[in-house]
Chains A and B, each alone.
Chain A
């Protein structure tokens, strides 16, 4: 279980580097953030803002790995992967959150459609993943129960 410090990769996070990045960072990157989708309060509105209104097909080719009962809603580990060919985007939604869109991953040419992260869940709800491939949308759903922490330490 012990992770040797030697395994940690060298990281550079100097302030000079940050400044350099800020000036290099094209304004378009900031503008590109899907603000309408992220600020939508309803699931359907968030999906429509992200992808436009079009039919969504349920798919078993999307796998959502998430706990049945989350230990804590502040840190719910989620892994999303798919075998749908030509997938270009994977987005994760949860309708019970104030803003249902949680994160959106572009699946770039060299990247595998397989990502993990930790998300917040306000309460027991579904985790909904939409995969975009060849202009079509696919969906998978998984329920995660959220309880409140107390005596588990």
Chain B
């Protein structure tokens, strides 16, 4: 996954792109068979021991989900950790240092 985190006026802006098919379970493949549902259900971000972001997603979120949020109380150089789990129990994780703007 790709994460961009930057801080300006004490507000940290986070943007992320998570490679994931986000299959709705309602799409048919070329042979006409239904592709089983497979989508990210939860995304969590932590910084300095605090959970600063928690989202629940459904199959209505676009393929390769893009998520953006803002939070307070971090400083440049702090690490932001992001993790996700999906409907099959698979998971992923990424990290980024918060850059000064």
Contact = CB atoms under 8 A, between A and B. Distances in A.
B44 A9 contact: no
B70 interface: yes
A21 interface: yes
Contacts of B93: 12-13, 17-18, 20-21
B2 A8 contact: yes
Size class of A's contact patch?
Answer: 35 or more
A148 interface: no
Contacts of B91: 18, 21-22, 25
Contacts of B89: 22, 30
A118 B51 CA distance: 23
Chain B: interface size category: 35 or more
A103 B55 contact: yes
Interface stretch (A106-114, A128-136, A137-145): A106-114
**Which among B58, B85, B90 has the highest number of chain A CB atoms within 10 Å?**
B58
A119 interface: yes
Nearest to B72: A110
Given A103-B56, A117-B68, A120-B62, A10 B92 contact: no
Contact of A111 (B24, B53, B66): B53
Nearest to B74: A110
Interface of B: 1-5, 11, 24, 26, 41-42, 44, 47, 50-63, 65-73, 83, 85, 89-97, 99
